[in-house]
Chain A
């Protein structure tokens, strides 16, 4: 294998860094996680001239080498560690032509690390609209680097950039500022104490004390060094920043002319409307409604197609393969399990089309601005609104959408509370039970049944907010909470970048969460399809004998019901009866609770099988009839107002969804959070259902 040039793309957020990454690597990229933490790692291969290749690492957007988040911390740790396998041969700093002055702060810092640094000035195609002109040779001389003008759509400067990467050894590695000018006495004592260490690196490590968190010093061979107090460090940091701006200002004075009279832009107008205290919220609310409508309603069309396609494929497989255990496993276990993963793709894809458009246009920052005050009280981010609302359609894409929340604590809380919102899979369960136990009649013109449904939605949302409030009090964090967010320029999203995001999100769901979902659905299938002993194995003969001589009996559905009752899952359902009895449930409901762990709506299907409803055109009404006529041995009804309400509340709070657990595992990179979520949500559901049944009964 030929040696690859290791390139790191570094830059402020909103500079079009990822667009440049997409241009360089195309689909030749992979998105993973950095080990141990949940920061996205994007890397790809780019072909240069003469068979030379570059390994491109798209580092998380960072404003400076003074970290204020896990993402930024990661960038610093990588750039300080020469032994890291990702340590770059050459760094490409991506900057936005309209924010050049501020973007150059990071450039001077990276240059001080003595890494060969290329400056890519992105969005250069917009210069003429902004009245900006640059004198590149002068800037190259003043900043002592190579400068390439690029554009977000990749039409500008890509070949020049590739040439520059090939010839990275010619790039100057001279630092841009002299630290000792900031505080001579301090920096001189520092360099005489550690003669073998690079002064700027030492300073970066030491000054992190005043930032995000202390860095591990052992790996950098710096033993305990009596540092200055936090306030003294801050004073030095301020002096250092002023020093950098002096350098940048003098370079830009020579090499940049901005004629603001020539600038055209819609930014001011858009901001006036989109951040307005009335219209701003109104517009955001309309956008949320649209997102909700699309993932709730439009996705149902491809989802139904997928559902039918996999059902057809399963029955087709049964036809062409010889009957037997293997065929059943493939058709009913594996194909159905894969279908259960693929079914989520439309919702995930639709939601991420919206999210990446909201991010790319710059609108998401306005959402944070509008929502920060309200959400902060509950330990959530302004950005948490989007996952919480889309959770009303499905928690899976919603939890994946929390990646856009930078603060880890806010993100974790959002992940943990989102499953409380009423997702569409709860709806079939709610509808059938409401129809069964809630009396007809109306209050202020709204039927009791509609009111109950509305209250369940409000209950889900209320519980999400309430538990966020509690979690905010419990969870400890070392991150200081402050908000400094950039309000970027409005941009037209690039279709290619949106599509790549959607593709990567979908792929990561199918590959990572998908295997957990598949495994659990196969286990559930085996448990429901097999059982111990004679009663299960001889189901056909037992039922045929039992109903001999009866007319109009649907034997097939009676057999299915008998089999489910005596399968392993049936046995589990029966054995948990003592536990669920105080909630007002019998063993049949118990079986439904267990099978619906695959997906909540399976509850209805399970009850259909167990009441041996069989294949009729109107399954829903038939189940309703058999459910309402279901009685205990003493003749009392199983489904009463008390047990119905108890069941509704149980489904409102319980974590009855393995796919959500799989996604939480993927997004938090640990089993700890999904397991906690499962235990605590089930506990809350149990207690609430218990209390409501005992009171109402």
Chain B
């Protein structure tokens, strides 16, 4: 089982499950929903925030939150 935190820079994945109670509703409303594609654009050093693109919405989230978003990895770059 992969989460967004396991993805490397450039990886793309499909979001599978976001039902964790600790995922803020704001993230869901920004398009982080099952079935959508997520791509990792950049990762800040020392496990800083992760910069992702979900269906055209560009976001930075902390790795703590990224670990809660379960994905299916589809493509390595």
Name the interface residues of A465-486: CB closer than 8 Å to any CB of B: 480, 482-486
Q: Are A66 and B25 in contact (CB under 8 A)?
A: yes
**Interface check A494, CB cutoff 8 A:** no
**A245 contacts which chain B residues (CB < 8 A)?**
31, 33
**Interface check A410, CB cutoff 8 A:** no
Query: What is the bound-complex CA distance between A276 and B57, given in angstroms?
Result: 20
Q: A369-B60, A372-B44, A482-B62 are in contact. Are A66 and B21 (CB under 8 A)?
A: no
**Interface check A242, CB cutoff 8 A:** yes
Most buried by A among B19, B41, B44, B62: B44
**B30 contacts which chain A residues (CB < 8 A)?**
63, 102, 484, 486
Name the interface residues of B42-77: CB closer than 8 Å to any CB of A: 42, 44-49, 51, 55-62, 64-65
Q: Are A68 and B26 in contact (CB under 8 A)?
A: yes
Q: Which of B19, B33, B45, B49 contacts A235 (CB 8 A)?
A: B19
CB distance from A574 to the nearest CB of B (A): 55
Q: Which of A211, A235, A242, A373 contacts B44 (CB 8 A)?
A: A373
**B42 contacts which chain A residues (CB < 8 A)?**
271-272, 275-276, 369
Most buried by A among B29, B42, B47, B55: B29
A101-B31, A245-B33, A484-B30 given; 14 more Cβ-contact pairs under 8 Å: A64-B29, A68-B24, A99-B56, A102-B31, A234-B21, A238-B18, A238-B33, A275-B41, A365-B60, A369-B42, A373-B48, A482-B65, A483-B65, A486-B58
Residue of A nearest to B36 (CB): A245
Query: What is the bound-complex CA distance between A63 and B24, given in angstroms?
Result: 12
Q: Are B60 and A64 in contact (CB under 8 A)?
A: no
Name the interface residues of B1-55: CB closer than 8 Å to any CB of A: 18-19, 21, 24-31, 33, 41-42, 44-49, 51, 55
Query: What is the bound-complex CA distance between A230 and B22, given in angstroms?
Result: 10
**Interface check A488, CB cutoff 8 A:** yes
CB distance from B49 to the nearest CB of A (A): 5
Query: What is the bound-complex CA distance between A242 and B25, given in angstroms?
Result: 11
Q: A63-B30, A271-B41, A369-B44 are in contact. Are A234 and B25 (CB under 8 A)?
A: yes
Query: What is the bound-complex CA distance between A238 and B64, given in angstroms?
Result: 20
**Interface check A241, CB cutoff 8 A:** yes
Name the interface residues of A212-269: CB closer than 8 Å to any CB of B: 230-231, 234-235, 237-238, 241-242, 245
Q: Are B49 and A373 in contact (CB under 8 A)?
A: yes
Query: What is the bound-complex CA distance between A531 and B25, given in angstroms?
Result: 65
Query: What is the bound-complex CA distance between A642 and B41, given in angstroms?
Result: 56
Q: Are A277 and B44 in contact (CB under 8 A)?
A: yes
Q: Are A487 and B29 in contact (CB under 8 A)?
A: no
**B18 contacts which chain A residues (CB < 8 A)?**
238
Query: What is the bound-complex CA distance between A584 and B61, given in angstroms?
Result: 52
**Interface check A368, CB cutoff 8 A:** yes
CB distance from A122 to the nearest CB of B (A): 16
Query: What is the bound-complex CA distance between A210 and B29, given in angstroms?
Result: 14
**Interface check A59, CB cutoff 8 A:** no
Query: What is the bound-complex CA distance between A442 and B21, given in angstroms?
Result: 60
Name the interface residues of A157-209: CB closer than 8 Å to any CB of B: none
**A64 contacts which chain B residues (CB < 8 A)?**
25-26, 29
**A231 contacts which chain B residues (CB < 8 A)?**
21
**Interface check A565, CB cutoff 8 A:** no
**A486 contacts which chain B residues (CB < 8 A)?**
30, 57-59
Query: What is the bound-complex CA distance between A485 and B59, given in angstroms?
Result: 6
Can you identify 8 A-B contacts, CB atoms within 8 angstroms? A237-B28, A245-B31, A271-B51, A275-B41, A372-B44, A372-B60, A373-B48, A482-B65
**B58 contacts which chain A residues (CB < 8 A)?**
486-488
Residue interface bits A262-298, CB-to-B below 8 A is 1, else 0: 0000000001100111000000000000000000000
Residue of B nearest to A373 (CB): B48
Q: A105-B29, A238-B28 are in contact. Are A98 and B56 (CB under 8 A)?
A: yes
Q: Are A102 and B57 in contact (CB under 8 A)?
A: yes
Q: Are B19 and A484 in contact (CB under 8 A)?
A: no
Q: Are A63 and B29 in contact (CB under 8 A)?
A: yes
**Interface check A370, CB cutoff 8 A:** yes
Q: Which of B21, B26, B45 contacts A373 (CB 8 A)?
A: B45
Query: What is the bound-complex CA distance between A272 and B49, given in angstroms?
Result: 15
**B26 contacts which chain A residues (CB < 8 A)?**
63-64, 66, 68, 484
Q: Are A484 and B21 in contact (CB under 8 A)?
A: no
Q: A98-B56, A101-B56 are in contact. Are A241 and B33 (CB under 8 A)?
A: yes
Q: Are A241 and B24 in contact (CB under 8 A)?
A: no
Q: Are A368 and B33 in contact (CB under 8 A)?
A: no
**A485 contacts which chain B residues (CB < 8 A)?**
59-60
**B64 contacts which chain A residues (CB < 8 A)?**
482
Residue of B nearest to A244 (CB): B29
Residue of A nearest to B58 (CB): A487
Residue interface bits A321-339, CB-to-B below 8 A is 1, else 0: 0000000000000000000
Residue of B nearest to A485 (CB): B60
**A68 contacts which chain B residues (CB < 8 A)?**
24-26
Query: What is the bound-complex CA distance between A484 and B28, given in angstroms?
Result: 11
CB distance from A269 to the nearest CB of B (A): 12
Residue of A nearest to B50 (CB): A369
**A484 contacts which chain B residues (CB < 8 A)?**
24, 26-27, 30, 59-61, 65
Query: What is the bound-complex CA distance between A9 and B42, given in angstroms?
Result: 33
**B29 contacts which chain A residues (CB < 8 A)?**
63-64, 66, 102, 105, 241
Residue interface bits A91-105, CB-to-B below 8 A is 1, else 0: 000000011011001
Q: A369-B49, A483-B49, A486-B30 are in contact. Are A99 and B24 (CB under 8 A)?
A: no
CB distance from B14 to the nearest CB of A (A): 16
Query: What is the bound-complex CA distance between A370 and B45, given in angstroms?
Result: 8
Name the interface residues of A445-499: CB closer than 8 Å to any CB of B: 480, 482-488
Query: What is the bound-complex CA distance between A149 and B49, given in angstroms?
Result: 35
Residue of B nearest to A488 (CB): B58
Query: What is the bound-complex CA distance between A224 and B52, given in angstroms?
Result: 41
**A487 contacts which chain B residues (CB < 8 A)?**
51, 58-60
**A276 contacts which chain B residues (CB < 8 A)?**
42
Q: Are B60 and A211 in contact (CB under 8 A)?
A: no
